[in-house]
Structure 1
Amino acid sequence: MANSNFIDHVKIYLRSGNGGPGSVHFRREKHVPKGGPDGGNGGRGGHIIVKGNQQLWTLLHLRYKKHLIARNGQPGEGGRRSGANGEDVIIEVPLGTAVKNAETDAFITEITEEGQEAIIAKGGLGGLGNENFKTATQQTPRYAQPGEPGVEMQVILELKLLADVGLVGFPNAGKSTLLSVVSAAKPEIADYPFTTLVPNLGVVAYRDYKSFVMADIPGIIEGASEGKGLGLRFLRHIERNAILLFLVPADARDIAMEYKILLKELEKYNPELLDKKRLLAISKSDLLDEELEAALTNELPEQVKWVFISSITGKGMQSLKDFIWEALNE
């Protein structure tokens, strides 16, 4: 895990730029020995901005950027010349990134669209020059405003994958194999628990050149919502999926019970997950003959649409895609 290129959680110290001070200046020319005040305003301090980039799928590029500091605004000058604004710092993030205050855990913003921008630390305003303080009774003000200080804070950037369908199941349920069969994704596959250590995304081709995105989430175990196994770290990626596709293998001891346990873990983590559309796929169905399949049908949960599939033989794959597409477009 330590060497993985999939980084979905980073903490960064930010400091936006200070505003530049206003200028105290008087017009002095050869034929205007006593010109009035003409001190310009200070420039605005640089903002720190997050921006969506759909070419990114991880926060790896921010892993070692522990400090991001924007430039200060420049001081105002005589002749009513304003100082230059400080240069903004733009942090490009993958779609699905949420920003929170690291100290208070308060939500700041969320990036879900390509090119979307949000200021997370505003630069300080520049101070007004002495030209702005001239009055009928005060013709020669000898003061100007200092610039406002920038914002200093620590933030947490947290990525939640944007996918249409999220695969939910225990380790070895066949999620990675399914993703590798229906898409061009190449997740690591082996016959032992927790082969998948990071979420994988795949684009699934459908009829008439349509497609949808499927995410293989690392396997949930009973107790994942309390932090056991890998589940807690990756359960948040399920929050963004429109449909949850539960995978339970045909050789499970009790398919309905496994489905119930998975539902229970999701509910403990976030009860709102139960409001999402759900489908159940019984994987590894090439192990079943018609008689066994008929017997299992009577034991399946009634409150969810189900389909028998096999990633090895291709059984039920088109039906599964049809179910998913119908659910996405209801």
Structure 2
Amino acid sequence: MTTTSRAQAVVAFGGGHGLHASLSALRLLVDDLTVDDLTAVVTVADNGGSSGRLRSEFGVLPPGDLRMALAALCGADDWGDTWTRLLQHRFAGEGEMRGHVVGNLLIVGLWELLGDPVEALDWVARLLGAKGRVLPMALTPMDIRAEVRGLVAGDPDALTTVRGQVEVATTEGVITTLDLEPPDPEVSPLVLDKVIEADWAFIGPGSWFSSVIPHLRVPQLREAMVASQARLVVVLNLEEQAGETGGFAPADHLAVLFEHAPHLRVHTVLADRANLTDEQHDELLALVEASGTRLVLDDVARDDGSPRHDPVKLAAAYARLIAAG
């Protein structure tokens, strides 16, 4: 790992809308030359919607989160904007194609044509003029398995096993632990190299149990994250998420992340200043200090009141972190 006197190599972990926001921010740092090597390592456990249908029919990785990551890395010019809109376009109508997304079909078509998921994603990135690389978290289709408390009537402490990304994301119980099936999926050596060589790594925001923590349950990937000298930044969500993290305070999000990867060394925890009460701030600060890391509060939320990160604000926060080292 080198100093911040040059443009930095960055890896971002996650999936869905959270990773899209983080990558949209990091793409801006590629544009201003703060970052010169950007890689997204994307969760591939989705079993719903267009992705789930394609996964079931073709036996491939679910392409949806990979597509969203590629869309986030498109440039802001006419070329990038047009391809982003096409990549995200969802078919209407009443036939069998209803609900399918153009980008998902493009990715799966290239997988069939080339027979190599990583090479195919690189070709899509070239077509889009993407400002970084998108890689799957693992090369094996997988399912999320969670132990959930509170689903058994009359026995609130009983644990129930819930399987599937959609099912875990919408459970009405309290998730206690999360694992993957299979438990040790194959990981591309390129992913491991990118993690080891990174200067900075960002995990979160996003659906905590179905997009963020799954990275920490892949043994090879977790070991690389622990071994890497990259400065790891945990980007906290702006609020709890019904189903996955109902009732969770910011400190609870961080605590369950540590529980699933106790040896992970976190450099910085980034939270939105305006979304913390005094009590939440004190709880989070106590956990951060006990973990030997640091807490950075910044303005990273959209101004419209929605619980989403603003990519421009997030880019500015990331730039300040990188500059401070």
Q: Is TM-score (shorter-chain normalized) higher than 0.5? A: no
Larger Rg: 1
Structure ranking higher in strand proportion? 1
Structure 2 length-normalised TM: 0.32
Structure 1 length-normalised TM: 0.32
